[in-house]
Amino acid sequence: FPVRIFREKTNKLGFDLFLVHIAGLMDREKVYGYDDDTERFLAYQIAVLDWIAQWEHTPDVIHCHDHHTGLVPFMAAYCQQFNKLKKVPTILTIHNAQYQGQFGWDKLHYIPPFDLWKAGQLEWRGAINPLASAIKCAWRVTTVSPSYLDEISFNANGLEELFARERGKSVGILNGIDNDVWNPAADPMLEKQYAIRTVENGKKANKDMLCRVFELNPDKPLFTFIGRLVGEKGADLLPDIFYRTLIEGNGEINVLVLGSGDPQVEGRLAQLKHAFPGNYNAYIGYNEQLSHQIYAGADFLLMPSRVEPCGLNQMYALRYGTIPVVRRIGGLKDTVTDIGDEGFGICHDQTSVWDVCHAIGRANELYTDKKRMKEIRKFIMQLDHSWDRAAQEYIDLYQI
């Protein structure tokens, strides 16, 4: 396949981007999900290494992400055609250890020649496993939150033993958000922009707009779920959670859902609109502007995730003065502290209907304390989850 490297100049980022074009492989509608993904990702990795090997100077570090680039550390270290790169430090960042990109030995010929006695560096449980290979071969391994690093030692889709073995070279670095894009004081998508000192009026204006559009009561606390409607996010439980909460609470709260995913979950969430008019509504799909408006107008964000390596939605919510209601797991555990522990969020320990309903009840009780709500909103808007913090941690890591 013909390979072309494009240079994209951008003033906003402060550096140029280099894009790999492989006709027939990387010019498709989706990033992944194809039967030939193994060939596609290998072609991409080989193209990148070929290009880097042509540089006059070797790079300071090669930073890879997930299994899609997981064979780069192995190929840079052991494939003859990349000998120039064998001493270049490599770093792997794991965003989700459940996805590993395994494939059979019948596709070994796609990898450039190397000494076959090194084949063990590719193998995990009888197959070529790009994520496992990267964990073995990379100089350093990072996860996207400290707590997720702890969790994958006992829940990593078969890689638990390997993670435990390589823990010494691993570190958890929490992701950040773009404070320019997610800034309620300058967000052009909002009904009304607001800063910390004007948070009450600002959130009220945005909530009133949402309630007008989605036919909800603006005097009641507004709970929202924004994201993929899949089991990993706990979304399969949402219909039962909302039904029970709205039935038992006699319409004390409002619920607004924005998301798409499992068709069965989509259907059940859509049906609830007919059961609870005036208290519940859902937008099935994705809408960037609406997501900003909901973060600004909602009182509470629900994240009952079963797995959450980092999580960004809770950071967006905090930035907009919306209180997260989350399960203590992964990055949620690292970013949200319960009000019972002198924190600012509502936390629960399990992804179950009962746990989440109980957490919603606690949030509803908090909502009645207007003074404390105001204090928490102002406090959480000041929390720093920008990339500045994370970037410095990566810069320190690069000094290897």
Q: Which of 141, 145, 100 is nearest to 123 (CA)?
A: 100
Burial class (CB in 10 A: 0-12, 13-18, 19+), 3: middle
Same domain, 122 and 254: no
Write down the pLDDT at residue 364: 96
Q: Would 24 be classed as within a structural domain? A: yes
Contact 191, 206 (CB under 8 A): yes
Is residue 399 domain-resident? no
* pLDDT (tens digit per residue) in 159-193: 999 999 999 999 999 999 999 999 999 999 999 99
Contacts of 326 (CB under 8 A, 6+ apart): 302, 303, 304, 305, 311, 314, 332, 336, 345, 346, 347, 348
- 348 and 280 housed in the same domain: yes
Domain boundary (124, 147, 176) is at 176
* 203 and 172 within one domain: no
Q: What is the DSSP string of 349-368?
A: SS-SHHHHHHHHHHHHHHHT
What type of residue sits at position 155?
N
Q: Does the structure show a pLDDT above 90 at 349? A: yes
In a domain, 359, yes or no: yes
Q: Is the pLDDT of residue 368 over 80?
A: yes
What CATH number is given to the structural domain containing 47? 3.40.50.2000
Q: Looking at the 3D structure of the chain, how many domains does it have?
A: 2
Q: Are residues 201 and 95 in the same domain?
A: no
Identify whether 185 is part of a domain: no
Please give the average per-residue pLDDT across 222-244, as a whole number. Answer: 98
The confidence score (pLDDT) of residue 11 equals 84
Q: Which of 176, 205, 229 is the last residue of a domain?
A: 176
214 and 318 in one domain? yes
The answer, yes or no, to whether residue 1 has pLDDT greater than 80, is no
Q: What average pLDDT does the segment 372-377 reach?
A: 98
With CA atoms as reference, report the closest residue to 66 among 5, 118, 139, 144. Answer: 144
Q: Is residue 320 part of a domain?
A: yes
Q: Which phi and psi (to 5°) does residue 241 adopt?
A: -60, -50
Angle, vertex CA 284, rays to CA 280 and CA 285, nearest 5: 145
Q: How far apart are CA 320 and CA 323, in angstroms?
A: 9
The interaxial angle of helices 199-214 and 370-380, nearest 10 deg, is: 100
Q: In the prediction, which pLDDT does 65 show?
A: 98
User: What is the per-residue pLDDT across 127-145, written as a single tens digit (0 to 9) for each?
Assistant: 999 999 999 999 999 999 9
Are residues 346 and 202 located together in one domain of the fold? yes
Helices (H), the chain: 37-53, 72-78, 130-137, 146-151, 160-165, 199-214, 238-248, 263-275, 288-297, 313-319, 330-335, 353-367, 370-380, 387-397
Burial of 7 (0-12, 13-18, 19+ CB in 10 A): exposed
Same domain, yes or no: 11 and 138: yes
Is there a single domain that holds both residue 326 and residue 219? yes
Per-residue confidence (pLDDT) for residue 254, from 0 to 100: 97
User: Do 182 and 383 contact (CB within 8 A), yes or no?
Assistant: no
* Shared-domain flag, residues 369 and 300: yes
d(CA 70, CA 96): 13
Identify the pLDDT of residue 350.
95
The β-bridge relationship of strands 254-261 and 323-327 is unpaired
Q: Is residue 336 part of a domain?
A: yes
390 is a domain residue: no
pLDDT of residue 250: 76
Per DSSP bridges, beta strands 90-94 and 140-143 are: parallel
* Residue type at position 174: L
If asked whether residues 17 and 136 sit together in one domain, one would say yes
131 CA to centre of own chain = 18
pLDDT at 307: 93
36 exposed, middle or buried (CB, 10 Å; 0-12, 13-18, 19+)?
exposed
Task: Residue 157: give the domain boundaries.
Answer: 3-176
| pLDDT at 130 (0 to 100) | 98
User: How many CB atoms within 10 Å of residue 92?
Assistant: 29
- Which residue among 145, 176, 207 closes a domain? 176
- Give the mean pLDDT of 14-21: 92
- What is the signed CA dihedral for 64, 66, 69, 74, rounded to 10 degrees? 80
Q: For 187-215, what is each residue's pLDDT tens digit?
A: 999 999 999 999 999 999 999 999 999 99
Rounded to an integer, the average pLDDT of 282-287 is: 97
* 144 shares a domain with 7: yes
User: What are the φ/ψ torsions at residue 123 (nearest 5 degrees)?
Assistant: -90, 145
Mean pLDDT, range 335-349, rounded to an integer: 97
Q: Is the pLDDT of residue 41 over 80?
A: yes
Whether 190 is in a domain gets the answer no
Cα distance from N-terminal residue to C-terminal residue, the chain? 35
Q: Domain check: are 232 and 360 in the same one?
A: yes
pLDDT digits (tens, 9 = 90+) for 49-74: 999 999 999 999 999 999 999 999 99
